[in-house]
């Protein structure tokens, strides 16, 4: 068991069949937590349940479609009925779609909202009601760096992540009267998960993870840290932190830069047919935690050309403006 035991603490993780959710379930299980796993793919949940038990935790798999409020309520009831209480609820389930705004079918847009926004709301509603009754608890909502920056070809996903940040902030203000209830929001940068293979795609290009790409375990460890010492909002990944800082310092320039660079980063030259991906039905491709994107320059520890451009170009532009301003003052 790792340092900082969570033995006796009950953690609900949605979207636990793969990616960040599965990595987070593993991280809590290693620390002896009781983990309640929720996702649409029952067979993969059962596998994750076995893995958590082997890692030293207690696990319960509850197949759940977070777009259906009654299923999320059942998830909460089963967790409480089996283990007596919930300490931490991680709203992680989410789907994405790539493509220009005009090309994304309305029904796909709506389903992204149902999954990402309403799924988070249903989980928050169930968790917060229980936390209110107990007087304590930690709710962790999975937003994204896209919830601060947005990006082209992902209008539905960006909208959903901005909404999650707004929901989280509103809930923080509502529980000021109960200081032992905490609402946290995580904003990961690009993470090495199956998300990109599972996303709907109407861009007509193959979707890929834009470097630098960070491991899902980095996100999982952040979630564990928040469960222990809650903070309102955490950006994960150096690239994301730098981008958020630049967006605050020079918003207009970053809008132009993001609009020019990010679509090239996430969309390859190779053509791709239109697909709704896992938006309506889960993809049963057997992919678990990783997506296989951390290769060469994609590794989160290695600066990429895209990262250097995003960070270096605005700084250079700022330096140029300051130099011109200084020259203007000198000639005055």
**For residue 113, which of 87, 94, 85, 136 has the smallest C-alpha distance?**
94
Angle at 138 between CA 132 and CA 139, to 5 degrees: 90
Question: How far, in whole angstroms, is CA 148 from its chain's centroid?
Answer: 12
**For residue 145, which of 222, 68, 52 has the smallest C-alpha distance?**
222
Distance CA 197, CA 288 (A): 12
Distance CA 34, CA 62 (A): 13
Clarify whether 214 is annotated catalytic.
Answer: no
Angle at 195 between CA 222 and CA 68, to 5 degrees: 90
Q: Which of 157, 196, 202, 214 is catalytic?
A: 157
Distance CA 304, CA 316 (A): 17
For the annotated catalytic residues, the residue numbers are: 157
């Amino acid at each position: 068991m790792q340092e900082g035991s969570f033995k006796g603490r009950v953690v609900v993780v949605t979207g636990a069949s793969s990616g960040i959710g599965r990595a987070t379930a593993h991280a809590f299980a290693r620390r002896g937590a009781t983990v309640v796993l929720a996702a649409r793919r029952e067979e993969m949940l059962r596998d994750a349940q076995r893995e958590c038990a082997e890692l030293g935790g207690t696990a319960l798999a509850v197949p759940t479609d977070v777009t259906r409020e009654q299923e999320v309520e059942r998830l909460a009831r089963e967790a409480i009925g089996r283990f007596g209480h919930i300490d931490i609820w991680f709203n992680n389930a989410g789907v994405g779609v790539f493509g220009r705004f005009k090309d994304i079918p309305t029904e796909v847009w709506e389903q992204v909202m149902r999954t990402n926004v309403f799924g988070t709301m249903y989980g928050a509603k169930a968790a917060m009601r229980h936390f209110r009754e107990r007087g304590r608890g930690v709710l962790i909502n999975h937003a994204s760096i896209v919830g601060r920056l947005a990006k082209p070809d992902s209008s539905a996903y960006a909208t959903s992540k901005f909404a999650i940040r707004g929901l989280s902030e509103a809930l923080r203000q509502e529980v000021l009267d109960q200081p032992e209830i905490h609402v946290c929001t995580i904003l990961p940068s690009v993470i090495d998960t199956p998300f990109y293979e599972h996303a709907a795609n109407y861009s007509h290009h193959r979707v890929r993870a834009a470097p630098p790409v960070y491991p899902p375990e980095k996100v999982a460890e952040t979630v564990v840290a928040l469960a222990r010492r809650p903070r309102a909002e955490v950006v994960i990944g150096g690239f994301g932190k730098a981008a958020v800082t630049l967006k605050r310092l020079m918003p207009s320039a970053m809008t132009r830069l993001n609009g020019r660079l990010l679509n090239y980063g996430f969309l390859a030259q190779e053509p791709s047919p239109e697909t709704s991906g896992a938006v309506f039905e889960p993809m049963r491709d057997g992919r678990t935690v990783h997506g296989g994107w951390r290769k060469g320059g994609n590794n989160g520890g290695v600066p990429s050309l895209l990262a250097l451009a995003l960070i270096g170009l605005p700084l250079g532009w700022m330096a140029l403006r300051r130099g011109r301003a200084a020259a203007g003052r000198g000639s005055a």
